[in-house]
Structure 1
Amino acid sequence: MAAVATRLRPPLLGLIALAVIVATAPSRASAQLSVSFYANTCPSVFDTVRAGVSSAVTRESRMGASLLRLFFHDCFVNGCDGSVLLEDTGSFVGERTARGNQNSLRASMFSVVDGIKAQVDRACGASVVSCADILAIAARDSVVELGGPSYSVPVGRRDARTASLDAANNDLPSPFEDLDILIRKFRNKGFTPRELVALSGSHTVGFAQCRAFRTRIYTPGADLDPSFAAARQANCPATVGQGDGNLAPMDPQSPNRFGNNYFQALINRRGLLRSDQALFNGTSTDDIVREYSNDAGAFSRDFANAMVKMGNLMPPSNSQGEIRLDCKRVN
C-alpha cells in the first residue's frame, strides 16, 4: 500500500448543500424521488444506513470505495434499480458475471448491503426501503466516511425484478478504454465530459487488480512514468495468470482518503489504469484535470453534483419494480 502523503490537506468537505433537482437523463424523469420519501414510513433510514456504512468501513477501509463502485455499476446499467445485487439462479442470469463486474465487485460488498438492509428493515419495522435506495445512501455515506463531500440523496426508487447481462457488458466502462469511448459511454447516460472527469475522480479511493493494469505497466508509453511502472511491476508479474488479483492503489498517495491527489497523479503520468490516464494525455479533458488538481473544492462540488445526477438515472417508466425482502433475489 502506498504511503500516506506527508503534506496534510485541509478537509475537502463540509456539507455541500444541494437542492434536490432532477437531472436530465436519457430515461424517464425521476420526479417521485424525494429526500423526505421515507419521512413517515421509516424516518430513521438515513441514520441506520450511515451507522452500517461507518461500521463496515471501520472493519475494512477498502469497503467505502467498494460500496461507491457498486452504486456506479448499478446505476450505469438501466438506471439505479438494484439490479446489480441480484444473484444468478438456475433460471436467471444477472449482472454480477459481466466483464466489468466479475473481477471488480467483491462478495463482501454484497454482504455489507445485505447486512444494512436487515438493519434498516428492523429499524422500520417492515421492509419498506428498497435495496436501490440503500445502495444510493450507502454510496454517499461511504464518500463522507473517506473524507469526501456530503450531498442530498433523493430516495423512492423501486427494485428491479430483472437484470441485463448484455447491458452490463456493453454499458460499463472498461479500464482499457480510450477517452473517445469513455465520452461516448458517459454521454449515452446524459453526462458531459466534465462530469466524466469528476466521476472518474472516485478513483481517488480504492484499488485495482493486476489484471486491469498489467498491459499498461509492461508496455509503457510516453504517458506513463517509468519509475511508477517499475514500482507497480513489483506486485504485478508480467505473466498472465500469475498475481492477477494482486492489488495496487488507484491513488498512489492516499487510497483510503477522498481528495484530489488522483488528478495530480494523472498530471505526473501516474494513472494506474489506461482509462485513468486517458483523461490527461494531450486530450480535450486535460484542462479539467488541471483545474481539479489545483482546486479541491471545485472537484468536490462537481463530484457531488454528478453523484446526485447519477442517482437520478432511472429504469423505463413501464418498470414498476418492487421493494425486495432480500436484495439478492426478487420477491
Structure 2
Amino acid sequence: MKILLTGATGFVGSAVLQRLVADSKADVAVTVRSENTSLAVPTFCVGDLSPTTDWHEALTGCEVVIHAAARAHIMKDEMADPLAEYHRVNVEGTFNLARQAAKAGVKRFVFISSIKVNGEQTPLGNPFSPDDQPAPEDAYGVSKLEAEQGLQQLAFETGMEVVIIRPPLVYGSGVKGNFASMVKLVGKGLPLPLGAIHNQRSLVALDNLVDLIVTCVDHPAAADQVFLAGDGQDLSTTELLRGVAQAMGKPSRLVPVPAKLLMFGARVLGKKAVAQRLLGSLQVDISKTQSLLGWQPPVTVEEGLKRCFK
C-alpha cells in the first residue's frame, strides 16, 4: 500500500510520519512546501496548499491520502479577511487535492478536521457526538465544516472513501498555542487563580490521535465515517493544570477562586473568550470511534502529559 501524507512537517503530521515509518506496513510519501525540508521518505515539493496546487506526481500509484495540511487555527488573525483565506486554503485547497486524488484512483482519503466543526462548548455532561448538528463559531471551524461537506459529496460522486477525524485540543511534545502557553505559566511557578474550576474538557494525546489516524488508513468499518478523537478521560482545568505540573516535576500553585468571579473579571478586562476556554466545558463522545473500530486510546492522560516533556 502506498500512502501520501500532507502536512508532514507539522505537529500532527510529523508524528504520523514517524509512526508510519516505524510500522513499516506501507510505502509512505510526503508533500512539503519547501525543498529545504529533508525527510527520509520520498518527498514531493508542491508549494502551498491552494486551489491550483498540482498533486499529479505525488498521487501517482497512491492508494490512501492522509490530509493533515491546513491553515491552522490562529487566535489573533491579522488577515484582512480571515474567512476568505481559510476558505481558499482549507476548503478550495482540500477540494483540489481530493478531486485529483479521486481521478488518480486513490481509494481512501483520511481528512484531519477539528472538533470546532461541532462548536466551542458543551453543557456539562452533554458531550458532542459525530451526528450532532454542526455549529462552528469561527472562520477556522467554518472552513473545516465546508471541507467535510465537499469531501462527502465527492465521495458520493466518485466512490472514493472519505474518513473524517475531528480531534479536540491535541497535546504532546512540541505542542504550541494555548497548551504551550499554559505549560509556560505552570513552569514559572506563578500562583494561578484556577484551583476551583469544575468544568470538563476532552483532550487527545498526540500518540492517541496518531494511533486513530493509522487505524483509519485501512480499517474496513472506517469508510465514509466521521469520528471524534479523545483520550476517553475528561479533565477539569484544575485537574489538567495539576497533571501538567506533576508531569513537569513542578509544584502546582493553584488558588481556589470561584469561576463566576473569574468570568466577571475576564469580561471587565475584555478577555471573555479566554475565560470561556478555561472555565467552560467541551466534551466529546468517542463511543462510536471505540465500538465501530474496536479502538481504545493506547495512552493514558497521565502518560500523555509525561510524554510532553520527554
Instruction: Please report the TM-score for the alignment, with normalisation by the length of structure 1.
Output: 0.28
Instruction: Please report the TM-score for the alignment, with normalisation by the length of structure 2.
Output: 0.29
- Structure with the bigger RCO (C-alpha within 8 Å, sep 6+) is 1
Judging by fraction of residues, say which structure has more strand.
2
